[in-house]
Chains A and B, each alone.
Chain A
Amino acid sequence: MSAQVPADLSEATVHEIANSRDEPDWLRETRLKALKAMDDLEMPDVIQTPGRRWTNLGQLDFDELADPLNQADDTERVTDEGVEVLPFTEAVEKHPKLMQAKFGSVIDPETNYLTALSVALFTTGTFIYVPEGVDAEDVTIRTEMNSRSLFSHTLVVTEDSSSVTILERISSGDAAVDGERYFSNLVEVDAAENSYVQYGSLQTLDEETYNVTLKRGDADVYSTINWIEGNLGSRLTRSDVETELNGDSSETKIVGAFFGHDDQHFDVNARVWHQAEHTTADLVTRGVLDDTARSVYEGVQDVGREAWDTSSYQRENTLMLSDDSEADASPKLIINNHDTEASHSATVGQVDREDLFYLTSRTIPERDARNMLVEGFFVPVLEEIAVEEFREDLERRISARLRE
């Protein structure tokens, strides 16, 4: 399903964005190349079973949704000692060579139609650089979206033996924009030898926004990339969180939580490629659905031919609070090396009736009892979140939604 490039999206648009940001030629060229490639690129793969496509990305109408020259955001960046946390424009000036070398090295702009669109048009984003040996725990990026469309690109580069914990929050700002909106978020993490990156993201966009995010990490020898992906907001979210374990003994954990209500749609994907020896992956996702919300989950554990001594685990659990919701899941194992221990499991169910009975028999009103059990359901995911502030925020929002 190849999409048409919107009529008013031209090279002139891209030049205007590059001019206004005074960008170097290489970045301008990268944008133009991405724009040109869009003609031949397809929408991201969506799971299809006979007679249906699980998410209809084809319905995104960029003639309506994209307003590239009027992008507005309010982004707050909090840095920690020894770490550079810079808006993109500043980063390009300050680290021209590093930026040129690393930009697009983990996510190829031509991955699909939506990544190319994002690279061609992005106006916000952050560069995070962690020099060798630096340990940082409190890097925060808070982005408020204040326009019809917003395209963001974040690049994280760690040097050897460094560590960093990054917390990203995406929300809608106060600026009134009527109608449907589009937020695009690309995050690349390049983790050098023996470095550690935890990247947490909490998305609470308003429910008229279409949200597409692709986060991908490249893990070198002995490095660890841990992702936490929390999705509560948006009309439709397509989220891809991926790690390539390219270095021996590298590790990754992808932890996901989503809570859909009304007619929200979440297409959540967690993927890991084991390409080197002694690599470990753990994929844990828990989601709750209410009203007519829908979730689509794909988890991929791909063990390459040379990935000797692999350990790979995946669990996905969905809780359905309403009869009108729908949960679709497809956990996939692709195994090309026999020296592998791999497993995956997925379950869908409702709040356990016996648990509910137990609590109500202890005089807890049924609604409260249900809410307690839903909160308890998220505990295994919350436990994985090292940043207290993030954990508490997510907990608070889950609990607020339950009491709506």
Chain B
Amino acid sequence: MSSDQDHLKETDTEARFEFKKEERSSFQAEKGLTEETIRVISEDKGEPEWMLKRRLRALEQFQEMPMPTDWPGQPDLSEVDVNEIIPYIRPDVETRESVDDWTDLPDDIKDTFDKLGIPEAEKNALSGVGAQYESEVVYQNMQEQWEEKGVIFCNMDEAVQEHGDLVREHFMTKCVPPSDNKFAALHGAIWSGGSFVYVPEDTTVEMPVQAYFRMNSEGMGQFEHTLIIAEENSEVHYIEGCSAPKYSAFNLHSGGVEVFVGEGAHVQYSTVQNWSKNTYNLNTKRALVEADGRMEWISGSMGSKATMLYPSTVLKGPGASDNHITIAFAGEGQNIDTGAKVYHNAPETKSTIESKSISKDGGRTNYRGLVHIADGAADSSTSVECDALMFDNESTSDTMPYMEINESTVDVAHEATVGKIGDEDVFYLQSRGLDDDDAKQMIVSGFIEPITEELPIEYAVELNRLVELEMEGSLG
């Protein structure tokens, strides 16, 4: 392990994220999406009949639904052609199950995750780690103390086999049905890999659990599914990280995340995404929150060519609450269309959304949000705050919030500001001996601090490093 640490120190962040590996796979599906492909994937995974049926139904829905095209200012998806995507690649590992000993992984896969610092983080700060390579989770480990309490953390395919009843009840039924949008349907048809987290009643998982997703092959799609069930009065913090190197062909990432927050439970979901700049990142993430439960979304959207991602929360029970903290950084050629959705469906529910965006070198950021307060959601309150920082005149920043208010005893507030990086601030820092780049870097770090301070330290450091790289324009 010490060599890993040394290696981490020596390698700069760019090398950490941009290296490529020879493609290795034991099974690779044909390009495109047909019923045949889905049957093959399902059979390869040894899935029960009900899951195959769900996949085929989702495929039908996918084929019926049009591409999203009519949103004002949305990213151009014309390049996204499902027929050009390899929907499934099983990496060439010895067994069907993911291994729980790091040293059992093939060297090059191990090396990949070593470079990303996964074992390091696990040793120091995490309750458990899952690592997905291409379409399958290759490594999964949970510290014993949590397992003893009945906490389940395993890969999603394993969960279908081992925890069938739980999965059958929750998987793309109540939270994210495939009919939600075209890419949710696509996901329902060809999902593979991902994490399953189950926390029993009155159990607090004090250290975060983490999953890391890595796309390595050119022209592939990654469709991992994450299902988190936190029973009454439980607590868990889930962290996911993603990256993929850059290839000339486009990659598609269309994940699905479903979170069930039981009565009085508390779930925090943190993501730092750093997809390569030819990846289309089109995810559906949603949480259902029961009475007095609390959901927290923390996301950093850094890479990708285009992102359309609006983590959403349905506050179902009285006293349920939700916090969103998001940051988007769009550099040259990038279009980050992100925001948050909250449905207040019960009385005395609360939500706050804090969104920050930075655009630079022709990058385009967009906050697209929806706050819905249903009739009957009396005494609810919500506040939305968006701040955008623009570096130059080639960049664009749009704010498009939607507020639907059906209840009178509510407190709804939305605020947004846009500004350029302050010349005076830069001047002040320069006069204290910093050069122009360092001064700007420092201002941006200050701007995103409300986000980074919510993240575990490793992630805060990673986010800051990524921002640094974006600022230098040296990534991708």
- Which residues of A are in contact with B by a Cβ distance under 8 Å? 47, 49-50, 305, 318, 320-350
Contacts and interface: CB of A to CB of B under 8 A. Distances in A.
A345 B404 contact: no
B411 interface: yes
A335 B412 contact: no
A82 B231 CA distance: 77
16 contacts: A50-B370, A323-B409, A325-B408, A326-B404, A326-B406, A328-B403, A328-B405, A329-B403, A329-B414, A337-B393, A339-B393, A340-B420, A341-B418, A344-B414, A345-B415, A347-B413
A346 B408 contact: no
Given A49-B402, A328-B403, A335-B398, A340 B408 contact: no
Given A346-B403, A347-B414, 16 more contacts: A47-B402, A323-B375, A327-B405, A328-B403, A329-B402, A329-B403, A331-B416, A333-B400, A334-B398, A335-B397, A336-B393, A336-B396, A338-B390, A346-B401, A348-B412, A349-B411
Given A323-B408, A328-B404, A334 B73 contact: yes
Contact of A332 (B392, B399, B406, B420): B399
Contacts of B393: 305, 336-339
A343 B388 CA distance: 10
B414 A342 contact: no
Contacts of A336: 393, 396
Interface in B411-465: 411-421
A326 B405 contact: yes
B66 to A, nearest CB: 14
A331 B408 CA distance: 20
B410 interface: yes
Contact of B388 (A50, A324, A335, A349): A335
Nearest to A313: B417
A215 B145 CA distance: 68
Contacts of A322: 408
B400 A342 contact: no
Q: Which of B390, B404, B409 has the most CB of A within 10 A?
A: B404
B407 interface: yes
Contacts of B388: 333, 335
Given A49-B370, A338-B390, A349 B412 contact: yes
Contacts of B410: 320, 348-350
Contacts of B418: 333, 335, 340-343
Secondary structure at the B interface, as helix, strand, loop or mixed, is strand
B141 to A, nearest CB: 39
B391 A348 contact: no
A330 B402 contact: yes
B259 to A, nearest CB: 19
B415 A335 contact: no
A345 B400 CA distance: 12
B408 A350 contact: yes
B292 to A, nearest CB: 23
Contacts of A318: 405
A294 to B, nearest CB: 9
Contacts of A326: 404-406
A67 to B, nearest CB: 34
A50 B395 CA distance: 28
B402 A323 contact: no
A390 to B, nearest CB: 29
Contact of B405 (A47, A320, A335, A343): A320
Interface string B362-391: 000000001010010010000000001011
Contacts of B372: 49
A350 B409 CA distance: 6
Nearest to B387: A343
Nearest to B407: A323
Contacts of B402: 47, 49, 328-330
Q: Which of B391, B397, B401, B402 has the most CB of A within 10 A?
A: B402
A356 to B, nearest CB: 12
A153 B142 CA distance: 72
A169 to B, nearest CB: 31
Given A321-B408, A333-B397, A350-B409, A341 B419 contact: yes
A346 B397 contact: no
Given A49-B370, A349-B412, A331 B417 contact: no
Nearest to B392: A338
B398 A332 contact: yes
A305 B396 CA distance: 9
Contacts of B404: 49, 326, 328
Nearest to A336: B396
Contact of B401 (A305, A321, A330, A350): A330
B46 to A, nearest CB: 36
B396 A345 contact: no
Contacts of B409: 323, 350
Q: Which of B395, B399, B417, B420 has the most CB of A within 10 A?
A: B399
- In the complex, the 8 A-B pairs of residues with the closest C-beta atoms, listed nearest first: A338-B390, A320-B408, A348-B412, A333-B399, A338-B420, A345-B415, A343-B417, A346-B414
Contacts of A331: 399, 401, 414, 416
Given A320-B405, A328-B405, A334-B398, A345 B413 contact: yes
B341 to A, nearest CB: 9
A340 B370 contact: no
Nearest to A315: B415
Contacts of A325: 408
Nearest to A297: B403
Nearest to B366: A334
Nearest to A338: B390
A165 to B, nearest CB: 32
A347 B375 CA distance: 17
Contacts of B400: 330, 332-333
Given A333-B397, A335-B396, A342-B418, A347 B412 contact: yes
A338 B362 CA distance: 11
Nearest to A339: B420
Nearest to A295: B405
Q: Which of B370, B375, B395, B415 has the most CB of A within 10 A?
A: B415
A347 B382 CA distance: 10
Nearest to A296: B404
Nearest to A342: B418
Contacts of B398: 332-335
B415 A343 contact: yes
Contacts of B406: 326
B393 to A, nearest CB: 5
Contacts of A345: 413-416
A333 B416 contact: yes
Contacts of A335: 388, 390, 396-398, 418
A338 B391 contact: yes
B280 to A, nearest CB: 21
A315 B407 CA distance: 21
A187 B205 CA distance: 63
B267 to A, nearest CB: 24
